[in-house]
Amino acid sequence: MLLGYNSHPTQSSPQATPQSQPVTPGSRSTAARLPAAPHARPLAAPARRPPPRPAPPVAPPPRPVGRDPGRRAARPLHPGRASSRRRRRRTVRRGTAPPLRQAPRPGRPPPSPAPPARMATLRNLKIKTSTCKRIVKELRSYEKEVEKEAAKTADMKEKGADPYDLKQQENVLAESRMMVPDCHKRLETALADLKATLAELKEANEQGAEIGEAESTIMEVEAVVKPTE
């Protein structure tokens, strides 16, 4: 009996037994049986947080009833002023408050002001006497300075000094001479004030050492003022 080409068990082709093929990880059948890798899944995007909500507006404090909304708030009173106002209200309630000053009625003359207090005192007389003495001393110092600067100017002219230096010296002499009439004017005003104060005190029969000192000062000042008149 003749056997076919494929009937021999020892000469079977490798294609007849698919189970005998080696299985490798890269084959299609193995790839189909293996589970998918975890990184193969698509990652979801992180969820975005909603923006924070704005804080609700703070409502202004309620205003008191009966107050004009456009009027500015009054400043707090000083403790002393507040207490004086309270005292005023209490005295008004009790009826002991001082009378308020009333406006003059039409047809009536306004009330005459109170006569000023007499200011002529021995202390004022002493102050005015010392003022006259101080001005006399100042006048004499200016007169001495004028004499000194005049002599210096004449000496520079005789020696033929530089014209610029001579001009500067003449300006200094002119300034010193301007102070003399100013002192005379202030001395005359202070002397008249001293005489008026002394006469007022004599009318009031005031006595003291200040009166004799004022009289001697008046005589001294008159001797200084009269030659210039």
What fold does the segment set 122-228 form as a domain? Methane Monooxygenase Hydroxylase; Chain G, domain 1 (1.20.58)
Q: Which two tokens stand for residue 196?
A: 């008026």
Please state the domain extents for the chain: 122-228
- Structure tokens that stand for 48 in this block: 């975005």
pLDDT of residue 100: 57
Residue range 119-164, pLDDT digits in tens: 568 888 889 999 999 999 999 999 999 999 899 888 888 888 888 8
CA distance 121 to 111: 29
Q: Is a pLDDT exceeding 60 seen at residue 78?
A: no
Mean pLDDT of 87-98: 57
* Alpha-carbon dihedral sign for residues 174, 180, 183, 184: negative
- What is the rounded distance in angstroms from the CA atom of residue 200 to the CA atom of residue 180? 31
Check if the beta carbon of residue 215 is closer than 8 Å to that of residue 130.
no
On average, the pLDDT of the chain sits at 72
- What's the CA gap between 14 and 49, in Å, rounded? 64
Give per-residue pLDDT as tens, 206-216.
888 888 898 99
Residue of higher predicted confidence among 59 and 27: 59
Please tell me the predicted confidence (pLDDT) of residue 2. 46
> How many Cβ atoms sit within 10 Å of the Cβ of residue 125?
21
Residue 132 phi/psi, 5-degree rounding, is: -60, -40
104 or 203, which is more confident? 203
Residue 102 pLDDT level (bands cut at 50, 70, 90): low
Q: What is the pTM of this model?
A: 0.46
What one-character DSSP code corresponds to residue 34? S
- Higher pLDDT among residues 211 and 89, named by residue: 211
Q: What is the phi/psi pair of residue 193, to 5°? A: -65, -40
Give CA 55 to chain center in angstroms.
Answer: 39
